[in-house]
Structure 1
Amino acid sequence: MAERHSTLGAIVRGLRDSNGWTLREMSERTGIPVSTLSKVEHNRLTLTYDKLQELSARLNIRMADLFADSDPAPANSPVTARRSIGTRENAFRVQTANYDYYYLCAELRRKRMIPNITTIRARSLGEFGALVRHAGEEFIYVVEGRITVHTEFYDPVTLEQGESIYIDSNMGHAYVAGPDCDEAVTLAVMSSAEDDLMDSLITMHGER
């Protein structure tokens, strides 16, 4: 894609326009109803991970391309003065059984930090499933409610609103809603020296 887009709706509309498709033609190619595509393009609806995966497979594009412009900066060109305002409204949302992820500042490519707001619904490790792990490090701050953090080498710890934790993401880990808390909200920042951290996170969410 040649243009930079900041929302899923703009990306879907750009894909459709670049191919000269009507909404009905794109619906036939993706298997997504016309009404759903229209709502997505007007930023009135997001897509679940399954639908995003189906969209990328049927259009033969990478999942990461649904976040922003995929053209990387030249290797010998330093990136300076980048800025992005992040809100829930312009975040890229990924829904899973355990979490709702709102990836902030998604239009910026090749980020070394991946910020997101996460709504945590899983209430126990049994409900969550196996611990997850990925490259890098991460910082989690509890915005609302309380969470219990399960890690591979430490006893579980419960964090209240206003508390935080910093961990090595290669260590198996899971975040669940804490005692007497139906749902919690956290602010997270994942970092890695690898350029494909976002792709790794998307794939991990899809497997959950």
Structure 2
Amino acid sequence: MSTIMYISSEAPTLGALLRGLRSRQGWTLKEMSVKSGIPVSTLSKVEHGQLTLTYDKLYQLSQRLGMRMSELFAEEESDAEPVVTARRSLGNLATAVRVETPNYDYYYLCAELRRKRMIPVLARIRANTVKEFGQLVHHSGEEFAFVLKGSVALHTEFYDPVTLHAGESVYFDSSMGHAYLVPEGCEEAELLSVMAGGNEEEVQTALGSHAREKAQL
């Protein structure tokens, strides 16, 4: 049985996080709309859980607001983050931030940590063919993926497609075009993906570019 079926209703949502960000900045919906270039009606629906945002919109939002992508997914902190290296975060699906897209259903783990050098993501794969998926994804750094359920077909720019089954993994250069698909004969597929780059900015690029898709709001 898929672990995704056990998600708590108390999990932080994208809408709640954006509403918290707007509140901390003291912005009205109209002010945030002007700053981000996203319509007031769209922002309002996101905050009330009636709509989600594609990566393109999330990236546009972070760029217009002058923020890192990780800051959009981080909840308010009562104290400034201490300058230490021995930090940790205990994550689960109940505390993950969920973002739905046509190709993937994402759960960003340990989202409360800022300035991460790795980004762990649980993903449910939706697309079945490269045509359905659209343009292959490129982002700097490297990526590790471990199949949790079903089978996953990995299509890459320089290699023949490979099918990975539950318990199998792959590590690859993510600057190479790639796409995860559900192969024929498999009804559902889930994997754990960990994206990492040489520095924080590369990791933040990985966070969004992995979810880039053709669908627009």
TM over 0.5: yes
In structure 1, runs of 5+ residues without a counterpart are 1-5
CA contact (8 A) 1:136 1:169 kept: yes
CA contact (8 A) 1:27 1:37 kept: no
CA contact (8 A) 1:11 1:68 kept: no
Match runs of 1:112-131 below 5 Å: 112-131=117-136
Identity of aligned residues (%): 46
Alignment match, 1:195: 200
Give 1:185 shift: 0.6
Give 1:95 shift: 2.2
**Over the residues paired in the alignment, what is the CA RMSD in angstroms?**
3.3
Alignment match, 1:90: 95
Structure with max Cα Rg: 1
Match runs of 1:7-22 below 5 Å: 8=14, 9-10=16-17, 12-16=19-23, 18-19=25-26
Match of 1:100 among 101, 105, 116: 105
Match of 1:66 among 54, 68, 72: 72
Match of 1:26 among 23, 26, 29: 29
Report how many residues are paired.
Answer: 191
Q: 1:37 to 1:168 in 2, by over 3 A?
A: closer
1:98 and 1:179 map into 2 onto residues whose CA distance is: 16
Give the letter for the 2:23 counterpart: R
Give 1:183 shift: 2.8
Q: Relative contact order, CA 8 A, sep 6+: which one is greater?
A: 2
1:120 and 1:38 map into 2 onto residues whose CA distance is: 25
1:137 and 1:83 map into 2 onto residues whose CA distance is: 22
Alignment match, 1:152: 157
In structure 2, runs of 5+ residues without a counterpart are 1-11, 34-39
Q: 1:172 to 1:38 in 2, by over 3 A?
A: closer
1:124 and 1:34 map into 2 onto residues whose CA distance is: 32
Give the letter for the 2:95 counterpart: N
Give the letter for the 1:114 counterpart: I
1:97 and 1:34 map into 2 onto residues whose CA distance is: 19
2:133 and 2:180 map into 1 onto residues whose CA distance is: 8
CA contact (8 A) 2:17 2:75 kept: no
CA contact (8 A) 1:121 1:176 kept: yes
Give the letter for the 1:147 counterpart: V
Q: 1:150 to 1:70 in 2, by over 3 A?
A: farther
1:161 corresponds to 2:166? yes
CA contact (8 A) 2:196 2:203 kept: no
Give 1:34 shift: 9.2
| 1:54-85 Cα distance to aligned partner (Å, 9 max, x none) | 76588x353623112799979xx5x3221112
1:137 and 1:53 map into 2 onto residues whose CA distance is: 20
After TM superposition, the score normalised by the length of structure 2 is 0.71
1:162 and 1:90 map into 2 onto residues whose CA distance is: 24
Give 1:37 shift: 6.1
Q: 1:207 to 1:147 in 2, by over 3 A?
A: closer
Q: 1:80 to 1:163 in 2, by over 3 A?
A: same
